[in-house]
């Protein structure tokens, strides 16, 4: 009998369709559990064709992502989930998150309109993750994001529509066993990063899946708590505070 915490196994995709998880954290994020190699191994196992690495305020550059793709034999799109920590450091009240993909450097800009424009001008792609959350951008269409995350694995949000831009799915995984529940089917793919992102810009993609089961998320929270208790007990309360805010 399969363990209840096992990641799903996706059936094979149709020809020309690639299955991408556009919102993946590794241990490059504060609460990330697993390193990139472990995450990639699990992404392969569940049947994904690629992942976008979106660690908090830590960019995996386009060039480094290409190098890691070759080494690990799997499509890796470089990226970042910005906002929150950087803005907190700058004493801004705006903690809302944005995702930028396929960038050479982290935009050193304050205003979200400047960031989406900068990413677009540099050939990247912007996604508004968890738009209905307190740390999301509800006005994603007005702010000229390229795509909105209509299915996020860790949140149970109201129905989200594209309002003229693409809708994508991402797990927002912080542990490898959270993969495979939510993803994006991108059509007419030639397998290259630029082609995949261009198809998203053209809305030639569909968000798939559903939120991650609560027992899988609970497993992750216990892993975070255990790690902090063992290594950084003073950080534990702050970490739980960050996680609880996600549900407010
Ligand atoms: Zn976020
Ligand atoms: Zn995230």
CATH of residue 129's domain is 3.20.20.140
d(CA 230, CA 106): 32
Instruction: Tell me how far the alpha carbon of residue 99 lies from the centroid of ligand 2, in angstroms.
Output: 8
At residue 1, the pLDDT reads: 42
Instruction: Note the ligand closest to the C-alpha atom of 31.
Output: 2
Task: Say if 121 falls within a structural domain.
Answer: yes
Instruction: Tell me how far the alpha carbon of residue 84 lies from the centroid of ligand 1, in angstroms.
Output: 8
- At 159-208, the pLDDT tens digits run 788 889 999 999 999 999 999 999 999 999 999 999 999 999 999 999 99
Task: Say if 1 falls within a structural domain.
Answer: no
Whether pLDDT at 117 is above 60: yes
Instruction: Tell me how far the alpha carbon of residue 1 lies from the centroid of ligand 2, in angstroms.
Output: 32
State the average pLDDT over residues 100-104.
Answer: 98
Instruction: Tell me how far the alpha carbon of residue 97 lies from the centroid of ligand 1, in angstroms.
Output: 5
Instruction: Note the ligand closest to the C-alpha atom of 173.
Output: 2
> Given phi > 0 = left and psi -120 to 50 = alpha, else beta, which region is 2?
beta
Q: Computed from CA positions of residues 85, 87, 91, 96, in that sequence, does the dihedral angle turn out positive or negative?
A: negative
Instruction: Tell me how far the alpha carbon of residue 130 lies from the centroid of ligand 1, in angstroms.
Output: 7
Q: How many domains does the chain have?
A: 1
Helix (H, G, I), strand (E, B) or coil at 174: coil
d(CA 186, CA 199): 7
Task: Say if 192 falls within a structural domain.
Answer: yes
Task: Say if 221 falls within a structural domain.
Answer: no
> What phi and psi values does residue 51 have, to the nearest 5 degrees?
-135, 150
Task: Say if 239 falls within a structural domain.
Answer: no
Instruction: Note the ligand closest to the C-alpha atom of 80.
Output: 2
Could you list the residue range(s) of the whole structural domain that residue 202 is in? 18-214
Residue with tokens 């424009």, as numbered in its chain: 117
Is the CB of residue 170 less than 8 Å from the CB of residue 200? no
Instruction: Tell me how far the alpha carbon of residue 1 lies from the centroid of ligand 1, in angstroms.
Output: 34
Task: Say if 13 falls within a structural domain.
Answer: no
The strand pair at 182-186 and 18-24 is best described as antiparallel
Task: Say if 37 falls within a structural domain.
Answer: yes
Residue 199 makes CB contacts below 8 A (sequence gap 6+) with 186, 187, 188, 189, 205
Task: Say if 81 falls within a structural domain.
Answer: yes
């Amino acid at each position: 009998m399969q363990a209840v915490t096992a990641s799903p196994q996706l059936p094979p995709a149709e020809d020309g369709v690639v299955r991408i998880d556009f919102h993946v954290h590794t241990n490059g994020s504060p609460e990330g559990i697993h390193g990139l190699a472990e995450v990639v191994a699990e992404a392969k196992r569940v049947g994904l064709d690629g992942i976008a690495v979106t660690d908090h305020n830590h960019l995996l550059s386009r060039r480094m992502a290409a190098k890691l793709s070759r080494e690990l034999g799997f499509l890796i799109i470089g990226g970042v989930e910005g906002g929150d920590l950087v803005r907190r450091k700058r004493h801004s009240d705006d903690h809302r998150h944005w995702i930028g993909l396929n960038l050479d450097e982290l935009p050193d800009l304050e205003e979200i309109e400047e960031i989406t424009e900068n990413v677009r001008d540099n050939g990247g792609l912007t996604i508004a993750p968890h738009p209905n959350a307190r740390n999301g951008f509800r006005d994603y269409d007005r702010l000229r994001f390229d795509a909105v995350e209509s299915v996020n694995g860790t949140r149970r949000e109201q129905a989200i529509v594209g309002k003229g831009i693409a809708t994508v799915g991402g797990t927002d995984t912080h542990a490898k066993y959270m993969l495979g529940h939510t993803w994006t089917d991108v059509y007419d793919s030639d397998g290259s990063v630029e082609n995949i992102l261009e198809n998203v810009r053209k809305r030639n993609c569909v968000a798939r899946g559903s939120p991650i089961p609560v027992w899988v998320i609970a497993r992750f929270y216990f892993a975070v708590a255990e790690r902090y208790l063992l290594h950084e007990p003073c950080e534990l309360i702050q970490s739980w505070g960050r996680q609880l805010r996600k549900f407010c």
